[in-house]
Amino acid sequence: MFIPQILSKALFSIARIRIQICADEWTATPDYDGLVDVEWESMVFHADRPIWDGTYYRVVNAGEVEIRTEVGLMQLGTIRYRYIATFPALHQHHARCGLDPLYHLSTTALIRTIDGYCLFGRRTRNGSIDLIGGGVQSDELVTSGGPCVEQNLYKEIHEEVGICEDDIEELTGIGIVLSGTSNVLIVGNARVWLSKSDAITRFGQRTEDEMTEPAFVPEDKLRSFLRDMTGYRKLIPELL
């Protein structure tokens, strides 16, 4: 696994990130592919619902990403989801084979209500509380620039908690972090026109069942709550 770290810390417009699409698909060795095939087949067999096996964007220049207020370049290649899904089980083999990090791209957000709460969601899969967001999928979103990446975050927020773009007063990037699985996450701060009560109502309008219920943290408890979370989430207080 990788050590979570902050790649960039700045306030910026997600829509103004410059995107360059590269003909660069993440590939593995034949030995590693064989291990992935076995692990993936096991995951599919034991899953209680079909598992998507599409393609994510990956950040080719993750080690060089430096986003500022109006500038910043992300070079994006692709990676199949099965490599991402099987990495936690196979990370030691990944390291032994000397493979490149996955660097799959995601967007996530802290959602702030007008009455002083931050909205999280409780995951249906394992009951854990998490931020709202998700991967940037190349077969779902043809990314031609920063506005498309920003739209991905609006889409994820609507799917997971029912809040639509018109409910959001302001969406601002606050940093970019690297997770323990080498996931590159653009972290946003979304201020909504809604109260906690309104957000609970909106939750009933979500279009995906990834989150089973909303979870709210008072603003004055947010930093300590994030520090008690796992992985890259512990780093987010440094972005606030």
The 8-class DSSP code of residue 182 comes to -
Please determine, for residue 85, whether its predicted confidence score (pLDDT) is greater than 80.
yes
Query: Which range (57-66, 78-87, 213-222) has the least confidence?
Result: 57-66
Higher pLDDT, 14 or 63: 14
Q: What pTM does this model have?
A: 0.93
Distances (CA, A) of 112 to 116, 192, 195, 216: 7, 6, 9, 10
Three-class secondary structure of residue 78 per DSSP: strand
What confidence score (pLDDT) does residue 146 get?
82
How large is the average pLDDT for residues 212-224? 97
* Cβ-Cβ contacts under 8 Å for 24 (sequence gap 6 or more): 58, 60, 75, 77, 78
How large is the average pLDDT for residues 183-201? 97
Q: Which domains does the chain have, with CATH numbers?
A: 5-239 (3.90.79.10)
Distances (CA, A) of 198 to 87, 172, 207, 222: 38, 22, 17, 20
